[in-house]
Structure 1
Amino acid sequence: VLESAEEEVVLVSYSLDEQEIVACLNRLQRKGVKISVLIDSSTVSRVFDKSPEFTVSCDTSTALVHSKFLVVDRRIVVFGTGNFTEGSLREDSNSFMIFESARLAALFLDYYRAIETGNSRGMTRIENMVFFLCPSEEARKRVISELMKARKEIRFGMFAFTDPQVLAALKFCASRGVRIIGVIDSWNDDSPLKDYLTSGMEVSESTSITVHDKTFVIDSRVVITGSANASLSGWGKNREIVAIIESRDLAQEFVNHFEYIREVSK
């Protein structure tokens, strides 16, 4: 996707240190492609260790830049749960989606400008997708509302799970007979919610790989994914993007992914 760029690349990530991506951006810069990179200020040294020839910016707020997306030539969007780093792309469990849509590209470019300047945005619907730019209490409420609608099954993979209201929603659904199947990262060992997560629901902890996912699948029909963990800082403090997508085909892809990581993380 990056190598296809002819005019412009915009990349937003918590961190950037994947050598091949930096090298590709350097080549594009030399060819005259406009390169805009925005990362969190706490990770700047990691990208500079890779000798970038392009300008690297940080946002102007105290919030954590935790969004992860790439826009190429105002028509292609790469969006997901992983940072553009060696660890996220080569070792951890993550997911990315690629869209070819000028309308979606325009939305993500607007998000880039909002993050860069410390501004907020409201909910946006595009076809079968709803997007939120965090911090957003509206996003949190919508996620909980979608979870509460579950009738048969909720599957999820989550790096950090510390939001008690989201946990309460899962517990309530389980009490109604909804099957809750999930895998969480060992990061949650120190979380006060861990014992509640792993009791009364089919939730396991990865012991072999980093589960960096941030995704729920509801009734094999609705996918909630993006850069935000199920945490209070994810919804209420960080610069995150949350997407709610109605698609059985996409939901099945995530179900297959969750089954795989549950198996390999035992």
Structure 2
Amino acid sequence: IAQALVRAKTRGVQVRLALDRENLDDPVMAKWAGSVQDADISVSWQETDAFLHSKFVIVDRRVVWMGSWNATINDTYRNNNNLLRITVPEIVANYEAEFAQMATGDFGSKKSAQTPSPLVQLSSGQIENYFSPQDGVREQIVKRITQAKQSVAFLAFSFTSDEIGDAMIARQAAGVAVRGVFERRNAEGTGSEYARLRKGNVDVLIDGNCYTMHHKVIIIDQRFVITGSYNFTGRAEDINDENLVIIDSPEIAALYMEEFERVYQKAQNPQACG
């Protein structure tokens, strides 16, 4: 990908990046970041205590790629991830506005709440689009869970939000079928909601991928899909740079449910590691 960016620059394409300075701690990432800068590609560095956790690419002001996927070997070949290609002009414009702030050095709490189109109506359904820490993402997630009538299914790399956990427990108590899979290394970590959800009779499992279950997804009533870079944590809500969409589409929800069932089944029968 770094080489593709350099080739695009050579073709005369305007290429700009926003990266987190912490990535330079990894020698491989530092190597590719250096090659990009050597090609005179503009890089805006996040250097605060916040973490630039958003992962998105805007192409020709027409397309945005977003999701949980990092541009790494592990996330491409080993870890569970999801990625969406969105061509809705208003959503692309939202991501352009978000990147424009980062390009001038405004990250985390320095950003303003200026998402141009947080709700876009489509011919069938709608898309909501939010960014952290400025847009109050957690409130939107909790609202959607609270409105669930039949089912909630989630895949969580990191889940420590009591507010989101409480909403799921309440829906389970109300007769909504709530199921979920936690990433193994975080399931029983400090502040994890895993034990609370189990105590609340929510059907939760620990993932069976030998590497990392990196999804951050909630599917509601097999109709709404919540996905993005946003982990269900306090840092994602209040500190980090994050992005998230809520899509009203049974067709897209069906694709995500296929992935959920695949990960859920593997969690029931973990593959041998070692």
TM-score range, shorter chain: 0.7 to 0.9
Match of 1:242, SS? strand
Is 1:26 the counterpart of 2:28? The answer is no
Deviations along 1:171-200, whole A, 9 cap, x unmatched? 000001111111110122213432123341
Q: Which amino acid aligns with 1:166?
A: I
Scaled by the length of structure 2, what TM-score is found? 0.84
Conservation of the 8 A alpha-carbon contact between 1:135 and 1:240: yes
Q: Which runs of 5+ in 1 are unaligned?
A: 1-20
| Alignment partners' CA distance in 2, 1:263 and 1:122 | 41
Aligned counterparts, 1:34-183, within 5 A: 34-46=14-26, 47-50=29-32, 51-52=35-36, 53=39, 54-59=41-46, 61-116=48-103, 117-118=106-107, 119-122=111-114, 124-127=118-121, 128-136=126-134, 138-183=136-181
Match of 2:202 in 1: 201
The alpha-carbon deviation at position 162 of structure 1 amounts to: 0.3
Match of 2:222 in 1: 220
The alpha-carbon deviation at position 207 of structure 1 amounts to: 3.4
| Alignment partners' CA distance in 2, 1:64 and 1:264 | 31
The alpha-carbon deviation at position 109 of structure 1 amounts to: 0.9
Deviations along 1:198-232, whole A, 9 cap, x unmatched? 34111101133411111101101111111111111
Conservation of the 8 A alpha-carbon contact between 1:121 and 1:132: no
Q: Which amino acid aligns with 2:11?
A: K
Q: Which runs of 5+ in 2 are unaligned?
A: none
Match of 1:131, SS? strand
Conservation of the 8 A alpha-carbon contact between 1:122 and 1:133: no
Segment of structure 1 superposing worse, 230-239 or 200-209: 200-209
Taking structure 1 as reference, are residues 198 and 136 closer, same or farther at Cα in structure 2, changes over 3 Å only? farther
Deviations along 1:222-265, whole A, 9 cap, x unmatched? 11111111111111111111211111111111110111112234
| Alignment partners' CA distance in 2, 1:219 and 1:105 | 27
Q: Which runs of 4+ in 1 moved over 6 A?
A: none
Q: Which amino acid aligns with 1:35?
A: V
The alpha-carbon deviation at position 126 of structure 1 amounts to: 1.8
The alpha-carbon deviation at position 136 of structure 1 amounts to: 3.9
| Alignment partners' CA distance in 2, 1:113 and 1:88 | 26
The alpha-carbon deviation at position 101 of structure 1 amounts to: 3.3
Match of 1:37, SS? strand
Scaled by the length of structure 1, what TM-score is found? 0.87
The alpha-carbon deviation at position 68 of structure 1 amounts to: 0.8
Q: CA RMSD in A?
A: 1.7
Conservation of the 8 A alpha-carbon contact between 1:137 and 1:236: no
The alpha-carbon deviation at position 61 of structure 1 amounts to: 4.3
Count of aligned pairs: 246
Taking structure 1 as reference, are residues 121 and 44 closer, same or farther at Cα in structure 2, changes over 3 Å only? farther
Conservation of the 8 A alpha-carbon contact between 2:113 and 2:135: no
Deviations along 1:122-176, whole A, 9 cap, x unmatched? 5511221111111146321111011011111000101000001111111000001
Match of 1:189 in 2: 188
| Alignment partners' CA distance in 2, 1:79 and 1:29 | 22
| Alignment partners' CA distance in 2, 1:100 and 1:36 | 20
